[in-house]
Structure 1
């Protein structure tokens, strides 16, 4: 077998079948060194079926956030990483390898740029035209940069957001007896359920996709699933009265549930949202449609889909604004829900703040923020070793 044949066989073994991708474990190298093995394992971990939302489509999280532009590009990236030397740098442009340059051991082994468009053409229509031609992809934050570690990656930040809101509005980081209303249990939004209960609160999480509710139940990020809106409210109210932390998932559309709860006058102390509204075509399901019906409409008539999605976003934000008027503390969670509503004519969409200036930026000013590390071996015992080392270094 020639060197080329060996390389091809290794690539096929690592990523030939998108449904069975799994990052290598252990201490045996596939690449030339650990400096290149690390990005290889992180890329493949992004597409592990236990991590990615839709690995067969290379979608990691966030509606359409991808790790590679297409299957052939993925194979080319893997092949490049397997051969890459410690004095070389791989350039990746929107999920496709475009060059390898001789650099030096102190330089980055991989440089990645995703989804960049000149501002005049930085529109969804132009992006989707280029995407259809196979010339770009949407990389989200950590999908296309190969450092997605599942919902755990945002858990600390979500927890910090909730406890900071508690300190600011209620004088205590302890949310016992407090209630939270939100929507979205995807790769990022799924952290809300566990983060809220870690902070002591009772949270109602609306999610249109029943599969995502099941996934959060299976991973124990979500405590319970309710059969109806009234059932969900009863569970949340009971937990809050007992000052007991609880997360409840409810299958439904936020554009319908949030305005209905506001109409009823059902009070929640904190109200937010983590649906994938940043991408109204592939991330936000219009009111009145199941996930399956939405997929059909998206494929058959994307313009009509967008019209209905934006109409639903308007209803959704109007419900949130009603909660502002009723005295709840409402904040945007970085998904451009306000921006989409404003573009659709809701002039007061930015009445409520975003989570970063409201709760996170003050923490950054104090030097409080997340730090991420991984065990490339895939051995959980290595995480425990890292934890013990950090406890020794940072005893306070």
Structure 2
């Protein structure tokens, strides 16, 4: 970790002097890291702990405080077992302990939930302090956390969030990987990935649905069919997130072949039933692929080995050769193409922008259009820990989606609803739960609000026995600004702006979220993305329903509106009136604020006028005619509007 401070070889009269200076810096950094770690403890314990912490720092490059790792079994206990003054705080405890469950977390002793270094906290002292604060918290207090460090409980109002979390927030000029390594060693910052540091991870199920949708829609786009029997999906990785690829392949009906160089996650996914077969014999692997392809049976086959040996450049050469032979390739979200470009591989696309490569990301070709419709990874957790509660909420969600789907709308929107109805019906059969009793599905604004309100009513009526936490992945319609993943399909030059994610974090906070989080890094790496998330506790009260309605409406519509006008993107009209706004004679489809599946609750009357114009959904007229029509309509209805800046992307 201190390689950035290493004594580089040099010659000349100043070499020895430079070496001495760097050694002094190294010693000072180590001393500072120890001081920072010891500040959690009274001076009387410093002598006992200092040597122990120094050893951890030398050996691991970070002070985890292993001696304070809890002796109890770490898992999501039923909410009533947590000693708290309020259920909102107990729900947060439930979520934290799920993120650290050994069955869920990648490296639980290092507080890493997934992604190699996506932490819940930076050290175990922070874990104990946070749980202490949560046990003491009242409804007029908010817990503030700086990159895992609990700053304390501060006065607030009952309508305020109970916790506000920031992870990895640094001055932009210092958001480099080298700076991260140094600040992480000092205990000053941490990498929260996405749902690790926001306490909203739900195991590999959290990504399996999105992966299933990605594979299904890849088949529709590249092969012209959603029937993937006998088709082969080749990928790599069986970790905390990538482990979902095995289960998703089977659900989608194809033959999934997943290479994994580490035997531990291979065995873990196989034991959990997420991986059907494992082999380290390449000939055996090829034989099973051909057999499953011929018989058209779903299969998830784990291959113990590298997907490609040696280097990124060699891997890209193999991909290029396969693509020329007719295989379709896409970057599935880990900035592979970006890293391959930096390694000098042949992935550049002539005349393209910074976010475009020879091959697309899955957002550019597949999931971007789904996000544009307002559909994204909505999730909920039954804090009772009772599978019957999860089954009840599954039934509730199915009924809600069926009602919405049969009420009309455009074909591509109904297709998304039907995909998710199919998913939720089969979810219980596929044994998705690892850790807390949780479920995920992709829904738009209308669906999310309706499901949340229906679950809240079920809690009030006693059909669900305990509070339910609703949340989402940060990888969503509004949650993330990431030019090489979530916003890689924004082509107006604003892909490197982070206003959307920050505004989402702030907006969710004062619209009713129980807790909110904002992160630097996640998915594609430190310094490459800003993302945020939330948790909202449904307890059956009218207040919980009001919060859910207010916050979820904003949480989706912010992203759809922020990216309005990003060329080539589908969008859905308000209140189920799906359409395409007329723009130019070539009828380039635009996204609008209304594309999230529910009426936008705007104070500006101009939006109501806009929606009225959208009713003429089959008429394609030129931009100038549309403009005159709009101005005439505004004049006739005495509309007052601002001449402020246009929406991002417009």
Q: TM-score, normalised by structure 2?
A: 0.49
The alpha-carbon deviation at position 20 of structure 1 amounts to 2.9
Equivalent residue, structure 1, for 2:379:
372
Deviations 1:114-143 (A, max 9, x none): 122222211111100111111111111111
Distance 2:287 2:336 in 1: 28
Give me the CA root mean square deviation. 1.7
Equivalent residue, structure 1, for 2:134:
81
The alpha-carbon deviation at position 314 of structure 1 amounts to 3.0
Distance 1:392 1:353 in 2: 36
Equivalent residue, structure 2, for 1:323:
322
Distance 2:313 2:166 in 1: 33
Q: For the Cα contact (< 8 Å) 2:82–2:93, is it kept in 1?
A: no
Equivalent residue, structure 1, for 2:343:
344
The alpha-carbon deviation at position 378 of structure 1 amounts to 1.1
Q: For the Cα contact (< 8 Å) 2:79–2:94, is it kept in 1?
A: no
Could you tell me which runs of 5 or more consecutive residues in structure 2 were left unpaired when the two chains were aligned.
1-67, 349-356, 406-650
Q: For the Cα contact (< 8 Å) 2:113–2:120, is it kept in 1?
A: yes
Q: Does 1:152 align with 2:205?
A: yes
Q: For the Cα contact (< 8 Å) 2:133–2:152, is it kept in 1?
A: no
Distance 1:391 1:333 in 2: 29
Distance 2:193 2:71 in 1: 20
Distance 1:221 1:237 in 2: 21
Higher-Rg member (1/2): 2
Distance 2:79 2:191 in 1: 31
Deviations 1:93-130 (A, max 9, x none): 11111232211111111111112222221111110011
Distance 1:315 1:96 in 2: 42
Distance 2:264 2:151 in 1: 37
Distance 2:152 2:323 in 1: 51
Larger mean CA deviation between 326-335 and 386-395 belongs to: 386-395
The alpha-carbon deviation at position 371 of structure 1 amounts to 1.6
Deviations 1:57-85 (A, max 9, x none): 11111111111011111111111111111
Q: TM-score, normalised by structure 1?
A: 0.79
SS at match of 1:145: coil
Distance 2:233 2:89 in 1: 43
Q: For the Cα contact (< 8 Å) 2:316–2:347, is it kept in 1?
A: no
Could you tell me which runs of 5 or more consecutive residues in structure 1 were left unpaired when the two chains were aligned.
1-14, 257-286, 288-311
Distance 1:347 1:94 in 2: 37
Deviations 1:211-269 (A, max 9, x none): 1111111111111012311111110111111111101001101232xxxxxxxxxxxxx
Alignment CA distance shift 1:18-1:348 (3 Å): farther
Count of residue pairs brought into register by the alignment: 328
Distance 1:102 1:347 in 2: 55
SS at match of 1:99: strand
Q: Does 1:196 align with 2:249?
A: yes
Distance 2:283 2:296 in 1: 20
Distance 2:69 2:305 in 1: 37
Matches within 5 A, 1:301-320: 312-320=311-319
Alignment CA distance shift 1:314-1:80 (3 Å): farther
Distance 1:229 1:19 in 2: 42
